[in-house]
Amino acid sequence: MIRNNTNFLTYNSEDLKSHLTILLYHGVTASTSIGIENYSGKHINVDEFYRQMSYIKENCNILSMNEIVEIKRKNEKWPANAVAVTFDDGFKNNYECAAPILNKLNIPAIFYICSGMIDSKKMFWVDKIEDCINRTKKNAIEILLDNSLKFSLKSNEEKIEALAKIKSFCKIADVKIKERVLKDLELITEVQPAASSAKNYQMMSWDDLKSLNDNQLFTIGGHTLYHDIMSAHINEENMFKDIELSIGLLEFNLNEKIIHFSYPEGQKHHYNQKVIRKLKNSKIVCSPSAIHGINDNETDLFNLFRIMPGFMGTPFPFDKI
């Protein structure tokens, strides 16, 4: 393995052949972004997604997450060039753009869903920050984070820098502080975040999700209610309630037992052993992280690595280095 120019580990063919690669997507988009909306590449272009799916269809052993759990249960080795396709959050374009491609190519996938967001006009907190910064008419703002910070917003580059710093602060803040920052940002920017401002912010309906769940190729998993970072909950009881309610809402609406989950944000400091124990007690059998990497046969089902093609320049791992 080597480190490329974007500072992500990339892998040679021998690495990929002997490991399990789990691809992590958030959205697949056919829409054109305005300003800094989707600057991170969180929503991958539909044609690029089709290219990547076509490649793994022709060259890899594609596994469902249920098959991954079964292989681990039997203590077997991964098949050569093993790969799985996963989605986090529950964006509308998963249903409109991604699912038709997966269905056409007969590729299984799992959708980890923030159940409190489904059938609503709510926005994820990271998207609220992006929308406020993107659509404000202000040339500069001042906001209280750890201390009061001023940001110039005269160019897209400056907006991206401000967005990155505010998001980074919120990702390590507890839920109440994060909510305070979001309210302050709306007042300061004079922008009311709205899912209607970009197609990529819009969420699936319950009918969309039921349709996915009815397809034998697709599996539904939990991802909390509103994408709050689990280790940032003020107390353990709130974190436990989030897990129980988010899973329960999916089970009620889909009439299906939920046994899969993924951690919001999913980096090492975003979940812990208390979270894992609660998930296991809730009959969850697997919860991958979003930590960049590929998986050997020793990787635990609650600490699986994933790779996000397109996000912040992350390369599709099977492209030639």
319 located within any domain: no
Q: What is the pLDDT of residue 4?
A: 41
Of the three residues 157, 175, 193, the one that is the final residue of a domain is: 193
Q: What is the pLDDT of residue 6?
A: 47
Do 103 and 218 fall into the same domain?
yes
For residue 208, the domain's CATH number is: 3.20.20.370
Q: What is the pLDDT of residue 2?
A: 40
221 located within any domain: yes
Do 187 and 214 fall into the same domain?
no
Do 78 and 107 fall into the same domain?
yes
Do 107 and 133 fall into the same domain?
no
Q: What is the pLDDT of residue 250?
A: 98
Do 138 and 96 fall into the same domain?
no
280 located within any domain: yes
264 located within any domain: yes
Q: What is the pLDDT of residue 171?
A: 87
Do 109 and 136 fall into the same domain?
no
Domain that holds residue 308: 2-122+202-313
Do 109 and 237 fall into the same domain?
yes
Total domains present in the chain: 2
Q: What is the pLDDT of residue 7?
A: 53
254 located within any domain: yes
Do 146 and 227 fall into the same domain?
no
Do 162 and 289 fall into the same domain?
no
Do 88 and 149 fall into the same domain?
no
Contact between residue 74 and residue 67 where contact means Cβ atoms under 8 Å apart? no
321 located within any domain: no
Q: What is the pLDDT of residue 11?
A: 85
Do 226 and 279 fall into the same domain?
yes
Q: What is the pLDDT of residue 1?
A: 44
278 located within any domain: yes
Do 53 and 96 fall into the same domain?
yes
In order along the chain (321 residues), what is the average pLDDT of each group of 10 residues? Answer: 52 92 98 96 98 98 98 96 98 98 98 98 96 98 96 98 96 89 98 96 98 98 92 78 96 98 93 94 97 96 98 93 54
HSE (CB half, 13 Å, CA atoms) of 57?
15
Q: What is the pLDDT of residue 229?
A: 82
Q: What is the pLDDT of residue 233?
A: 62
